[in-house]
Amino acid sequence: MVQAMEDLSPPLIGADLIRSQLRLLPMSPGVYRMIDTRGDILYVGKARELRRRVTSYTQTHRLPIRLQRMVAQTVALEIITTHTEAEALLLESNLIKQLKPRYNILLRDDKSFPYIEITPGHPFPRIVKVRGGRPQGGSHFGPFASGRAVNDTLYALQRAFMLRTCTDSVFANRSRACLLYQIKRCSGPCVERISAAEYGALVEEARAFLSGKSTALQRELARRMEEAAAALAFEAAAVFRDRIKALTNVQGHQDINLPTLGEADIVALHAEGGQTCVQVFFFRGGRNNGNRPFFPTHGADQSRGEVLESFIGQFYARMPPPRLILLSEDLPNRELVEKALTLRAGTRVTVVVPRRGNRRKLVDHAALNAREALGRRLAETTAHRTLLAGVAQAFHLERPPERVEIYDNSHIQGTHAVGAMVVAGPEGFVKTAYRTFTIRDPSTTPGDDFAMMREVMRRRFSRARTEDPERTRGQWPDLVLIDGGPGQISAVGAVLAELGIHDLVVVGVAKGPDRDAGRERFFPLTGGGPLSFAPNDPVLCYLQRLRDEAHRFAIGSHRAKRSRALSGSPLDTIPGIGASRKKALLHHFGSARAVAQAGLADLEVVEGISAALAKKVYDHFHGGG
């Protein structure tokens, strides 16, 4: 019997790998993913015909340097077919947002947008601010660009329509009118100062105003004011007058306004110095709901249209698109983008580049804001890089650090202890990289700051060494700052030595004499004694800001942990009792204390609680084995 010789030829990579896969690719729409040796996604792309599109990557001499590098790192190719190219575009946007591939244009801002909600399911609905993609249930109006924009609108709406903002539990337990009623920002439904029918009329008026019917509503209020004045009901006329003033106020404080626009987003791009800003203005009901700048990351070889198209795909992957999107410049695949957004919205979406008129003025205004925002960002980035160069010089680094990690601990007499890590770089604080570490090592003595720091360092760098041993993913720091002096630095040094890490630059930041800000001393892990700066040195101020941010984040994380513990339930510690069973027990008995005092037979009759689980709950509170 002759045994087949094992194939020892090296695995295919790069263009050779792609060529070997071409015959397996269909001529249908879909999405392709390029993967490197670590299994990381390098690039996600969409195609009308997968085989034809992927074939272009085998002609490396025609590709930009950036894509040549990407192809050279590719060791695997994955595809997902779709029915249409529009579906492929939607899937591509979702995958880019989820996977954040290194060679794609990336929108890194994941903040949610606030909405105004008129709540359902209550005879006296409340008006509140909510966040996230458009929630389910109730009436929602937005999005608004910022919390301030929605708060200003809510304030005016309270004055105009006097709808309640209190929670249902507060509403149910009021015995007398609250302060908001006294200052005429609530109609007092909790104490029956207004009937359900009258309150319902106010709710419908608020909906009409938020839906863009403000002109008709103001005419109607003016008519009712005149009728009240003619009937000598001057107090009622004054109420209508104040409501008209409130509505006029919320419309008058608009930087730009175009009542005929209805529901639309204005999206304008400005590029300079290798960076790009995309400014988005939100118009709903003919009102400007504010604006927000975004700074997508992209390669130098990618055109403005490509950047804008990728931005739109990712931006509307997390929120419903409006009926109209006005752009500062055309897209390479505008009709395809329209089809994809229409598919996502479930209604017709139009994407337009206006050339003249009021709409063009709006786009130009948005582009001006994009240019100014990018100018501020470039100035801030230059300032940060200058400060980081000063840090490099002070601590004898070979080059300015791209990633600085700052650590601090927070606890009260050892309880609810947490470690915190904040990250800074050339563009400022990188809040998406912040991390907290719950101190959980049983050998750590409560209140032992040195032991807590050892645990944090061990967990942080054990994981880094496992997940990124070659330090190629940008997750290893160029500089580590520790809030503490020689003791803390010694504890950190012992952990790093134990892990076999000897090349990290670690510096302790100790408060000066009498804890005086400006007289801090800096203790490097290696290389000489403590360093100090002149009190007015910009580098010292920058290092103080880094230390203070870590301190703020650590205290905030500790307080959140402590609050969760204080508001926790004894039922949370019982194995097998999840959210639904906990809810069933509390609904049946009314409180955790009543559950603790219940007999076994009483526990067994609760819906969803088996006899075995009832026995477990009973034993938990009565010491059974």
State residue 71's pLDDT score.
93
The Cα 501–Cα 457 span in angstroms is 11
CATH number for the domain that contains residue 538: 3.30.420.340
pLDDT in tens, 293-328: 999 988 888 899 999 999 999 999 888 899 999 999
Average pLDDT over residues 56-67: 90
The Cα 303–Cα 342 span in angstroms is 25
Residue type, 246: A
pLDDT in tens, 258-294: 666 778 999 999 998 888 999 999 988 777 888 899 9
pLDDT in tens, 464-498: 998 888 888 888 999 999 998 888 899 999 999 99
pLDDT in tens, 74-88: 999 999 999 999 999
My answer on whether 144 and 225 are in the same domain is yes
Structure tokens at 623: 């010491």
State residue 422's pLDDT score.
95
Contacts of residue 522, Cβ cutoff 8 Å, sequence gap at least 6: 394, 395, 507, 508, 509, 510, 530, 531, 532, 543
Domain of 576, in residue numbers: 570-622
User: Is residue 394 in some structural domain?
Assistant: no
Q: ∠ CA(102), CA(107), CA(110), 5° rounding?
A: 115
Strand partners, 402: none
Among candidate residues 229, 252, 275, the one where a domain is terminated = 252
User: Is residue 9 in some structural domain?
Assistant: no
The Cα 610–Cα 603 span in angstroms is 9
More confident residue, 4 or 572: 572
The Cα 219–Cα 213 span in angstroms is 10
Q: What's the number of domains the chain is made of?
A: 5
My answer on whether 441 and 351 are in the same domain is no
Among candidate residues 233, 252, 271, the one where a domain is terminated = 252
My answer on whether 555 and 417 are in the same domain is yes
Are 271 and 347 a contacting pair, CB within 8 Å?
no
Q: How confident is the model at residue 5 (pLDDT cuts 50, 70, 90)?
A: very low
The Cα 475–Cα 38 span in angstroms is 15
**Over 90: is that where the pLDDT of 421 sits?**
yes
Q: Where are the beta strands (DSSP E) in 432-487?
A: 435-438, 479-483
Average pLDDT over residues 450-466: 92
State residue 518's pLDDT score.
61
**Over 90: is that where the pLDDT of 402 sits?**
yes
Among candidate residues 202, 228, 252, the one where a domain is terminated = 252
CATH number for the domain that contains residue 607: 1.10.150.20
My answer on whether 200 and 267 are in the same domain is no
Structure tokens at 96: 């880019």
